[in-house]
């Protein structure tokens, strides 16, 4: 198969990540109309998102392992079928518990079937421009707030929340099922000992050995701390801006600016990683993220929020795909789905921690100051842990 097909894999992966993450995060758009229509508490509805993160963590590990064994296509096919079904069932939920199970558990389980398997598959198609390719697949997540969320808002305005969620479920099937048919495994090398590509140091490890290795411990802890650092500020940014006197609609636009900047950041950091190396670019990005989080403490004007949103969005969006590239370099392709799925599980736990911690801090102090201080410190910790990454493998396969 022509190597040009690898860009079809990238496009399919970007579409899948956009639809999966976009449908999950559209819950924020449904929150108010659902609460008004059903009388369910906002906390109860929002708890479905917490379940999403927790289930995504476990699901990412399981789906990644299955993709290593059976290939990515069957995994993303199951995810596509399950995602549409979960949204259709959630749209017909008659009780809050039923909604929490269908949306919080099933949608989270389905959404996690795409990221780790498609990222692992993409790295197998690329020996060069790997950082850029992984970043482009991940860019689908950045497009989601600008596509699925406005579509959900339009449907709710035109009909009602149940019809809107049902239609999004059908749309997920329409978009994802044809994309699944494009998924192919990467071509195998012509023969052993014929490549001059670097050999991953952990390429011969079992899964158990890989998950206990220093490389994975550093990778997992860095991924966890990175997500724990930025998830709280992301989730509470709109509320914080409003406390600073920014008008509600303008405060919402700050989140949109972050998402748009994240697209550019993914491309920028991907290209820099290909040229300068993944480790130094990741460490620099984590350090910048920490500094920007701390800088939010000293601003209050909308234009200042926009300026930091561009840097913050580009940074946290840019560093996220780099973990997959590092995992591929350290552990090779054979068990990458499992290893990266395990790392994704840890990152999901970090993502679940930030919003909860931010809410607890605000309830205790009626201020977000300690959220930003704590997040900045955790961000610096992530950069410090990343410094401990072992040198990337440089051994070459010898000619037979």
Q: What is the pLDDT of residues 363-375, one digit of tens each?
A: 788 888 999 999 9
- What confidence tens digit (pLDDT) does each residue in 279-297 have? 999 999 999 999 999 999 9
CATH fold for the domain made of 1-185: Growth Hormone; Chain: A; (1.20.1250)
State mean pLDDT over 337-343. 85
Report the pLDDT averaged over residues 375-386.
95
Q: 77: Cβ–Cβ under 8 A, 6 or more apart, which residues?
A: 177, 180
Task: Tell which wins on pLDDT, 286 or 338.
Answer: 286
Comma-separated ranges of CATH 1.20.1250.20 domains in the chain? 1-185, 203-392
Level-2 CATH architecture, domain 203-392: Up-down Bundle (1.20)
**To the nearest whole percent, how much of the chain has pLDDT over 70?**
92
Strands in the chain per DSSP E: none
- Identify the band that residue 339 occupies on the pLDDT scale cut at 50, 70 and 90: confident
Q: Across the strands, what pairs with 198?
A: 396
* Amino acid 147: pLDDT: 81
Cα–Cα distance for residue pair 206/351, rounded to 1 Å: 28
Question: So what's the pLDDT on residue 299?
Answer: 92
**Can you give the pLDDT at residue 49?**
79
Instruction: Give the pLDDT of residue 399.
Output: 34
SS3 198: strand
Tell me: the pLDDT tens digits for 81-135?
A: 999 999 999 999 999 999 999 998 999 999 989 988 898 888 888 877 777 888 8
Largest CA distance in the chain: 71
pLDDT (0 to 100) of residue 391: 75
Which residue in the block uniquely carries the two structure tokens 């929150």?
A: 31
Which pLDDT score, from 0 to 100, does residue 196 have? Answer: 45
The reported pLDDT for the residue numbered 193 is 47
Q: Does residue 303 register a pLDDT over 70? A: yes
- Comparing 95 with 145, the larger pLDDT belongs to 95
Q: Which residues of 313-333 are buried (b: 16+ CB within 10 A; e: fewer)?
A: bbbbbbbbbbbbbbbbbbbbb
Nearest alpha-carbon partner for 145 in 240, 75, 234, 233: 234
pLDDT exceeds cutoff 80 at 155:
yes
Q: Can you read off the two tokens belonging to residue 316? A: 């946290």
Q: What does pLDDT average to over the chain? A: 85
For helices 322-331 and 278-295, angle between their N-to-C axes, nearest 10 degrees: 150
Give dist(CA 48, CA 188) in Å, integer.
41
pLDDT per position as a tens digit, 254-278: 877 887 888 888 889 988 988 898 8
pLDDT value for 218: 93
Residue with the bigger pLDDT between 387 and 35: it is: 387
- The tens digit of pLDDT for each residue in 207-218 reads 888 888 999 999
Which residues, in sequence order, are bridge partners of residue 396?
A: 198
Q: Is 160 helix (H, G, I), strand (E, B) or coil?
A: coil
Q: How many CB atoms lie within 10 A of CB 298?
A: 9
pLDDT attached to residue 203: 55
Please report, in angstroms and rounded to a whole number, the separation of the first and last CA atoms in the chain. 25
pLDDT one-digit tens code per residue, 37-54: 998 887 788 778 778 888
Q: How far is CA 106 from each of CA 16, 180, 235, 333, rounded to the nearest angstrom?
A: 17, 19, 22, 28
């Amino acid at each position: 198969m022509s190597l040009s097909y690898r860009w079809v894999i990238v496009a399919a992966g970007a579409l899948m990540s956009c639809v999966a993450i976009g449908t999950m995060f559209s819950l924020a758009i449904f929150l108010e109309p659902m609460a008004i229509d059903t009388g369910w508490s906002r906390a109860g509805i929002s708890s479905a998102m917490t379940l999403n993160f927790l289930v995504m963590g476990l699901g990412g590990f399981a789906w990644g392992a299955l993709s290593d064994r059976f290939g990515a296509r069957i995994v993303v096919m199951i995810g596509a079928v399950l995602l549409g079904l979960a949204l259709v069932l959630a749209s017909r939920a008659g009780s809050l518990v039923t909604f929490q199970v269908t949306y919080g558990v099933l949608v989270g389980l389905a959404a996690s079937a795409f990221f780790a398997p498609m990222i692992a598959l993409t790295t197998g198609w690329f020996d060069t421009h790997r950082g850029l390719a992984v970043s482009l697949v991940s860019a689908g997540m950045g497009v989601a707030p600008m596509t699925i969320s406005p579509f959900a808002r339009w449907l709710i305005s035109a009909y009602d929340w149940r019809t809107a969620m049902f239609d999004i479920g059908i749309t997920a099937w329409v978009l994802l099922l044809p994309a699944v048919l494009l998924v192919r495994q990467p071509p195998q090398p012509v023969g052993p000992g014929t490549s001059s590509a670097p050999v991953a140091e952990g390429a011969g490890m079992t899964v158990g050995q890989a998950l206990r290795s220093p490389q994975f411990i550093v990778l997992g802890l860095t991924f966890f701390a990175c997500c724990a650092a930025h998830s709280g500020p992301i989730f509470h940014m709109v509320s914080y801006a409003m406390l600073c006197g920014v008008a509600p609609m303008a405060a919402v636009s700050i989140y949109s600016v972050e998402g748009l900047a994240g697209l550019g950041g993914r491309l920028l950091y991907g290209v820099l990683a290909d040229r300068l190396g993944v480790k130094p670019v990741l460490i620099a990005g984590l350090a910048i993220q920490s500094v920007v989080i701390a800088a939010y403490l000293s601003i209050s004007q909308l234009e200042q929020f926009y300026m930091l949103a561009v840097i913050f969005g580009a940074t946290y969006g840019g560093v996220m795909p780099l973990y997959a590239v590092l995992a591929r370099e350290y552990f090779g392709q054979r068990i990458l789905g499992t290893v990266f799925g395990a790392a994704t599980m840890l990152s999901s736990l970090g993502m679940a921690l930030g919003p909860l911690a931010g809410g607890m801090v605000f309830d205790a102090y009626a201020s977000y100051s300690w959220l930003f201080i704590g997040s900045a410190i955790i961000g610096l910790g992530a950069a410090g842990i990343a410094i401990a990454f072992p040198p990337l493998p440089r051994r070459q396969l010898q000619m037979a």
